[in-house]
């Protein structure tokens, strides 16, 4: 990568194409006895970039609320909302996670062919990576706002901050959403809230489920970090700072009894701990306030260095 482009946290470029091929070949190799790898085996590296093991570590799916399931890896969320009329999947993690996700959907008793909608928090490779494969496998439709749909169709190329360094198989959105528009299925209504900053089309999703006989307002709030971003006088996105500050205010006002995030540990979740996957619950306001403090510190640092 050039000095002007930095990879997101836990993305590391490979030293060479030869090493990439060797890693992928090794990851896909059969077990010594010829059997398939166990369900909890690490997913392979993608080849173009390396990621932390816990981004690729499958965890057993678990129920969050009556209709909402966690089906992702230890550090990359993917959610399944099951309804009488079909299912909705939000995010998927890395490109190589598609087979794992389909297996996890079956594990919770849902036929992948019943998935009707694919939704996205933001169109980076570690969240939208398997969307194209999931669309092919399930026949589901993709709903996204115009910014996310454009980025998704490019497969992550020409990223404002990362250029062509972190890419994934492109996919075409079937429905373009406006800010505040809902995707409704089987009595569940998921509202998309535009929360730009991490990407121009970053979207947070809210819906009401039930748990223990009571309604629970779930907020799946998008990432709000700025990993290596040029915050001041960025020619590609001049109003980036204003976007972030507006997003923090939006997040604070979301209906939010239970907070989830694309990187689960950012909101106090440890999905790999089957006995206590949510040891440190966090509110939407706390999530926004913490991110705001970190953002303003980075903004001040860049302003001083200018």
Task: Give 180-227 pLDDT, tens digit per residue.
Answer: 999 999 999 999 999 999 999 999 999 999 999 999 999 999 999 999
pLDDT at 1 over 80: no
For the beta sheet containing 203-211, the strands, ordered from the edge strand earlier in sequence to the opposite edge, are: 182-185, 188-194, 203-211, 214-220, 258-260
Higher local confidence (pLDDT), 175 or 28: 175
Q: Which of 82, 91, 126, 222 is catalytic?
A: 126
Are 123 and 148 spatial neighbours (Cβ–Cβ below 8 Å)? yes
**Among residues 127, 161, 193, 278, which one is catalytic?**
127
Instruction: Give the span between the Cα atoms of 66 and 170, in whole angstroms.
Output: 32
Given 67, 104, 122, 161, the catalytic residue: 122
* Burial tier of 297 (Cβ tally within 10 Å: 0-12, 13-18, 19+): exposed
Q: Is 198 a catalytic residue?
A: yes
Q: Which fold has domain 12-305?
A: Metallo-beta-lactamase; Chain A (3.60.15)
Among 124, 161, 193, 278, the one annotated catalytic: 124
Closest by CA to 256, choosing from 292, 295, 305, 289, is 289
126 labelled catalytic: yes
Contacts of 158 (CB under 8 A, 6+ apart): 164
CA atoms within 13 A on the CB side of 25: 6
With 60 as the cut, is the pLDDT of residue 4 above it?
no
Reference 266, options 253, 255, 251; nearest CA is 251
127 catalytically annotated: yes
Instruction: Find the Cα–Cα–Cα–Cα dihedral 36, 11, 49, 231, rounded to 10°.
Output: 150
Question: What are the structure tokens assigned to 206, written together?
Answer: 């809210």
Active-site annotation holds for 67: no
- Average pLDDT (136-163) is 97
Of the chain, the percentage scoring pLDDT greater than 90 comes to 84
Reply yes or no on whether the pLDDT at 14 is more than 80: no
**Averaged pLDDT, 233-256:** 98
Lowest mean pLDDT among 11-25, 53-67, 184-198: 11-25
263 is catalytic: yes
- CA 284 centroid distance within chain: 17
Which two structure tokens, joined as six digits, stand for 22? 């060797």
């Amino acid at each position: 990568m050039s000095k002007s482009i930095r990879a997101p946290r836990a993305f590391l470029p490979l030293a060479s194409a030869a090493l990439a091929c060797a890693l992928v070949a090794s990851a896909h190799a059969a077990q010594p006895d010829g059997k398939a790898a166990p369900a909890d085996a690490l997913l392979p590296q993608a080849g173009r970039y390396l990621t932390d093991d816990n981004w690729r570590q499958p965890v057993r799916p678990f129920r969050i609320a009556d209709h909402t399931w966690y089906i992702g890896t230890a550090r990359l969320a993917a959610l399944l909302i099951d309804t009488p009329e079909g299912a909705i999947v939000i995010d998927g993690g890395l490109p190589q996670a598609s087979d794992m996700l389909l297996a996890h959907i079956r594990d919770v008793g849902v036929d992948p062919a019943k998935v009707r909608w694919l939704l996205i928090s933001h169109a980076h490779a570690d969240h939208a990576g398997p969307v194209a494969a999931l669309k092919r496998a399930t026949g589901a439709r993709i709903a996204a706002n115009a910014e996310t749909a454009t980025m998704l169709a490019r497969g992550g190329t020409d990223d404002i901050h990362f250029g062509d360094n972190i890419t994934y198989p492109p996919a075409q959105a079937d429905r373009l959403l406006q800010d505040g528009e809902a995707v409704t299925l089987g009595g569940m209504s998921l509202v998309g809230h535009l929360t730009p900053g991490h990407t121009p089309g970053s979207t947070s999703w809210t819906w009401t489920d039930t748990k223990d006989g009571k309604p629970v307002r779930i907020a799946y709030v998008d990432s709000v970090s700025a990993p290596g971003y040029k915050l001041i006088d960025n020619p590609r996105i001049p109003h980036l700072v204003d976007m972030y500050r507006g997003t923090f205010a939006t997040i604070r006002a979301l209906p939010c009894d239970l907070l989830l995030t694309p990187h689960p540990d950012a909101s106090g979740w440890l999905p790999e701990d089957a006995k206590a996957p949510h040891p440190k619950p966090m509110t939407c306001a706390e999530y926004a306030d913490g991110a705001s403090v970190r953002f303003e510190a980075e903004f001040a640092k860049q302003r001083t260095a200018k």
